[in-house]
Amino acid sequence: MTETTERLGEVLRDGDRLGTRYERRLAHPPAKVWRALTESEHLRAWFPADIVGERRAGAEIRLRFWPESVEHAEAELTEVGVDLDDPELPGRILTWEPPRVFEFLWDDEHLRFDVLEDGAGTRLLCTVWFGRPGPRGHSGTAAGYHVCLDSLRDSLDAGPGGIPDPAQIGALESRYDDLIEQTSA
C-alpha cells in the first residue's frame, strides 16, 4: 500500500469551513462503484459505518458503526460522545442521483461522492467538509477518509482487506497536518 501516502487529498477552505477533496481512478465501471458506495453489503469492506434508512434525497438516515469499527476506534468514539452500546450517528441524504451523485450529512460532516465514467473505469471524487475536530484533529479526519478510499479501491480490486497499518495512518496525519497548515497561511 505504498500509494497510501502518495495521493493526498486537496485541502479546501471556504471561509471558516475546512474540508478535503480526494480523487481516485478505479478500474471498475460506475455501476459497480455506486454499489460499493451505497449498499450495506459493500460498505462494510471500506466504510466504518452502515447507512441505515431509505436511499432517496431528503431521507433521514442513521450511520451505525460496524462492531469491528467500534472495537478498533473505541477510545476515539467514546471521546466524541458516541454511545458504544448504540453506536450510531444521525444523517440525511442530500443528493441521490444513481449512479452519479451521492451526498449526505453524517452528524456534522458533509460528504459528497461524484461517480464519473472514465473509459472502462471510474473517476471518483469525494468531497468532505469537516465538522468539529475529532480527537486526532482535522488531520486525523482527513487521513481517515484517505484510508477509507484506499480500502474502497482495494476491496473493489481484491476483496476486503485488513485493518490499516497505524504507522501509515500516522504518516498521513502528519502530511495532512502540513497541508492544513499551508492553507491557513
pLDDT in tens, the chain (185 residues): 334 445 899 999 999 899 999 999 999 999 999 999 999 999 999 999 999 999 999 999 999 999 999 998 888 888 888 999 999 999 999 999 999 999 999 999 999 999 999 999 999 999 999 999 888 899 999 999 999 999 999 999 987 666 677 788 889 999 999 999 998 86
The three cell numbers of residue 132 are 468539529
Reference 122, options 39, 52, 37; nearest CA is 37
Query: Domain range for residue 123?
Result: 2-183
**108: domain CATH number?**
3.30.530.20
> 134 has which bridge partners?
none
Number of structural domains (the chain) is 1
- Reduce the DSSP state of residue 178 to 3 states and report it: helix
- Distance separating alpha carbons of residues 116 and 172, to the nearest angstrom: 26
